[in-house]
Amino acid sequence: MNPTQSPKLHILTLEDSDLDAELISRELKRGGIDFIARRVQTRRDYEREIVEFQPELILADYKLPAFDGAEALELAKSRCAEVPVIIISGAVGEDTAVELLKNGATDFVLKDRLGRLVPAVHRALREVGQRNARRQAEIDLLALNEQLEQRVAERTRELGEKNARMEEDLNMARELQMAFFPQHFPTLPRGAADAASAVKFHSIYHPTRSVSGDFFNIVRVSDTAVGIFMCDVMGHGVRAALVTAMMRTLEEQLNELANKPGELLTEMNRVMRNILRQLGTSLFTTACYVIVDIANARLTFANAGHPSPLLVHGRSREVKPIAPARSAARKVESILNAHAAGPALGLIDDALYLTHECPVLAGDRLLVFTDGLYEVENGHAETFHIDRLHKAIRHHAALPLVQLMQTVFSEIEHFADGRVFVDDVCFVGMEITHMNAGPASESPS
């Protein structure tokens, strides 16, 4: 050991021979060990020095007149278990030496081979250093684990508080979004009681998260006409929900176009493109707007990349997508070189959406929905698909509107077999119970 770097080694020597004690001391000094030694010969002195001297190494003779190394070893194990004990003896059997080592002696050195003493001391001290280093590492690791546990607990608490605030915000956002949806459906003619209304509605709304990117509204267009507006924003969650709020606001701001589906979607697209240009982001929403006028038995509509609504004929039970007539579609393509349905809102500047129409009869039912209704997957990664949706509606077409929609939706849920829907679902139905031959008012309200 370097005396300039560490204090002198405390060595307690149990030895009754002055000559042997001197030889041991000389051997240690020759080996460069800087030490302070205390020598004892009795059990009483040995016990006292263990307490007062606090040795860092014990060198014990195996045989003394009233005390021996075996007893010294036992006392060291009980009083100072961390202190290495090297047994030094003149002559002892191999079995005894092995037993002493089994009982905890660090090493065994014969007096006639004291040249082994210094290496044995260095080895013993090295083992103590390693053991102390391991123990200190364990203590440090334990302290570090406690610190980490405290940090994790604190972080968990902070995250819990943040999650609770986020959950509270999401609950508020969900309540606000639900407030955007129609709370009461309009009746026709204006002022008619629900039971006497010429149109009846039913809706199924199934968001995949707290808030949704799907939105629908049912508005009174005139005294004899109502409109169904539906949109499906790209993406999910809060971002999509914010866009639905924007769509709801646009719909209200453009109320003067409520009786002109094509012009309404065209203006919505223009405003969206201006907003997205300022934000420097890409985003789109599919949308469709359908108006039913019971005064002239006419359905008018415009579509912006949205799944085509379905018309279920009351008498024939035939199910047909609402789409522009073939001649009208060809005319649009030749004049505008564009698809009659039009692209999703927010994609193309100056996109033009046309209004199309078709006749309706008493007993007809209109079904408007987002693509989440048929993009449900089962356990085999198969989607329900639009064709299967048409088939299901056709199969249950004889049922009343509410029962028809609920039965079809239950069939889709059964197909999913408990799996979470991959997309939000809006499913709105309207039934025309009878027609009114009176003239329609042209002023929207």
Q: What is the full DSSP assignment across 239-279?
A: HHHHHHHHHHHHHHHTGGGTT-HHHHHHHHHHHHHHHHHHH
Domain with CATH 3.60.40.10 in the chain: 181-432
Under DSSP, the state recorded for 194 is: G
List the 85-89 sheet strands across, edge first: 35-40, 9-14, 57-61, 85-89, 107-110
Question: Does the domain at residues 181-432 carry the CATH identifier 3.40.50.720?
Answer: no
Under DSSP, the state recorded for 323 is: -
- Quick one: which H or E segment has residue 226? strand 225-233
* pLDDT of res. 187: 92
pLDDT tens per residue, the chain (445 residues)? 444 455 899 999 998 889 999 999 999 999 999 999 999 999 999 999 999 999 999 998 888 888 888 888 899 889 898 899 998 887 777 788 788 888 888 888 888 889 999 999 999 889 888 888 888 899 999 998 989 889 888 888 888 888 777 777 666 766 676 777 888 899 998 888 988 999 999 999 988 877 778 899 999 999 999 999 999 998 777 777 788 888 888 888 999 999 999 999 999 999 999 988 887 777 899 999 999 999 999 999 999 999 999 999 988 999 999 987 655 444 444 333 333 468 999 999 999 999 999 999 999 999 999 999 999 999 888 999 999 999 999 999 999 999 999 999 999 999 998 888 888 899 999 999 998 644 433 333 3
Residue 176, helix vs strand vs coil = helix
Which top CATH class is 9-134? alpha beta
* pLDDT of res. 422: 82
pTM for this entry: 0.64
Under DSSP, the state recorded for 12 is: E
Residue 143, helix vs strand vs coil = helix
Domain with CATH 3.40.50.2300 in the chain: 9-134
